[in-house]
Structure 1
Amino acid sequence: MNPVDVKNLTVAYEKKAVLKDINFTVPEGQLIGIIGPNGAGKSTLIKAILGLIPKAAGDVKIYDKQYRAKDRIVGYVPQRGSVDWDFPTNALDVVLMGRYGHIGWFKRPSKKDLNIAHESLKKVGMEEYADRQISQLSGGQQQRVFLARALAQDAKVYFMDEPFVGVDAATERAIIDLLNELKSQGKTVLVVHHDLQTVKDYFDHCILLNVSIITSGPTEEVFTMENLHQTYGGKLSFLDKGQMMVEQK
């Protein structure tokens, strides 16, 4: 069974297709980059898979079941900018939200759940901030807390929407180390990513997207100049001869 199987997925806003006839599967236990220009539908793809926005057509399965039947084994790290960081809660409580699929929304967390939450914070270097209000944390620290929440959930498939945006180099390194740890445990991680310079270093598998799937497959096979030109069109420029191209803003 494939961790994620998307067939004929179409999403439309005001009768305009923002995702059209999306078909792909991903291999288990790999880091998968979702790559494409601004406005290509990358975040929309994740939200449609998770049922956060309606589909016009198509079918999504997680391990051969409809998503809602598998939501306990699916973790989601949204874009940091989409979160209300003024919500009055501390870092530990945010991480404990990742345990609700295991304990239920109206039960108190057990000692085991608390231990898992603290251990998850420790893994992302945030244990000393457990009692800190999330609004008082830096952008990189907030991102680490959300990653800790995903860890605490102990999912099998993770979706992360631009986790590297707005973080410092140390946090980025900590995030990629964490993703590799999840991979080593057999987890599957799909990441919306915008930095073309790091794609080959970070991801085993790529989905190149611009409203429709341009191509998908092992990074070494599909992350080519030809496919990138097809994905980005005229929105690419070269840093220098022989170096990877970057997206023009």
Structure 2
Amino acid sequence: MNPLVVDQMTVAYDRQLVLEDVSFSVPEGKLVGIIGPNGAGKSTLMKAMLNFIPRMHGNVFVYGQPYEKQRHLVGYVPQRNSVDWDFPTNALDVVLMGRYGHIGLWKRPRKEDVEIAMQCLDKVGMLSYAKRQISQLSGGQQQRVFLARALAQDASIYLMDEPFVGVDAATEKAIIQLLNELKTRGKTVLVVHHDLQTVRDYFDYVLLLNKCVIAFGETERTFTYDHIQNTYGGKVTFLSTTHIVG
């Protein structure tokens, strides 16, 4: 049973279709890149999967059950620009939010939860910043904290919306190392990604999206010149042949 199935999802804003009849099924333990031009519906896809925005129709299944029954198995890392970084909280408190599904929303974190949160901060190189206000962190550090929050949730599926945007090279390297570690633990990770040059290096599977699914499958056979051109409307001319096939 595949961990994540999206079936005929359609989403519209003000009667304007943003996603149309999107369907795909992700095998377990894979890193999946979601690729497409601006306005293709990549972030909308994630938000609709998580019920943050309504779907006109379509379903999301997590291990064969509707997402609504399995939401605790899904972790989410939002775009940095969608977060209120001036909210008065520190890095440790942000990561502890990932434990709410285990302890209950209105209950105090247990010693065990604090230890897990600290371990997750350590994994992303942010342990020494545990008491630092998030507004005082750099963009890369903020992104690492949100990755730690997702780790603390101990989900089976992770949805990450452009985690590499606005981070330095060291943070990008740390993120991809973390994603590969999640994969070795059998986790399934979907990442909205914009850098076509790194797609083949980073992802096992690729979803090429432009309001509808242009192509989906193993990166080696799916990330082709023709599929890329179809996704971007024939406007991609800068890719080296070492980064695509076909």
TM class, shorter-chain normalised? over 0.9
The answer (yes or no) to whether the contact 1:41–1:210 under 8 Å persists in 2 is yes
Does 2:57 correspond to 1:57? yes
Matched residues in 1 for 2:36 and 2:200: separation? 15
Name the structure 2 match of 1:211. Answer: 211
Q: How does 1:72-87 map to 2 (within 5 A)?
A: 72-87=72-87
- Which stretches in structure 2 are left out of the alignment for 5+ residues? none
Does 2:179 correspond to 1:179? yes
SS in 2 for 1:236: coil
SS in 2 for 1:59: strand
Q: How does 1:28-67 map to 2 (within 5 A)?
A: 28-67=28-67
Name the structure 1 match of 2:5. Answer: 5
Matched residues in 2 for 1:47 and 1:74: separation? 12
CA apart distance, 1:40: 0.4
The answer (yes or no) to whether the contact 1:37–1:235 under 8 Å persists in 2 is no
Matched residues in 1 for 2:3 and 2:79: separation? 22
> Cα deviation per residue 1:100-119 (whole Å; 9 max; x = unaligned)?
00000111111110100000
Matched residues in 2 for 1:239 and 1:47: separation? 29
Q: How does 1:94-243 map to 2 (within 5 A)?
A: 94-238=94-238, 242=241
CA apart distance, 1:235: 2.7
Matched residues in 1 for 2:233 and 2:242: separation? 18
The answer (yes or no) to whether the contact 2:196–2:239 under 8 Å persists in 1 is no
Matched residues in 1 for 2:239 and 2:203: separation? 21
Matched residues in 2 for 1:48 and 1:194: separation? 20
Matched residues in 1 for 2:237 and 2:139: separation? 29
Amino acid at match of 1:204: D
SS in 1 for 2:131: coil
> Cα deviation per residue 1:160-200 (whole Å; 9 max; x = unaligned)?
00000000000000000000000000000000000000000
Matched residues in 2 for 1:177 and 1:98: separation? 20
The answer (yes or no) to whether the contact 1:238–1:244 under 8 Å persists in 2 is no
> Cα deviation per residue 1:116-170 (whole Å; 9 max; x = unaligned)?
0000000000000000000000000000000000000000000000000000000
Matched residues in 2 for 1:72 and 1:59: separation? 17
Name the structure 2 match of 1:27. Answer: 27
Matched residues in 2 for 1:203 and 1:103: separation? 33
User: Aligned residues, how many?
Assistant: 244
SS in 2 for 1:207: strand
CA apart distance, 1:68: 1.8
The root-mean-square deviation of aligned C-alpha atoms, in Å, is 1.1
The answer (yes or no) to whether the contact 1:9–1:20 under 8 Å persists in 2 is yes
Does 2:18 correspond to 1:18? yes
CA apart distance, 1:98: 0.2
CA apart distance, 1:236: 1.3
The answer (yes or no) to whether the contact 1:91–1:134 under 8 Å persists in 2 is yes
Using structure 2 for the length normalisation, give the TM-score.
0.97
- Which stretches in structure 1 are left out of the alignment for 5+ residues? none
Amino acid at match of 2:181: E
Using structure 1 for the length normalisation, give the TM-score.
0.96
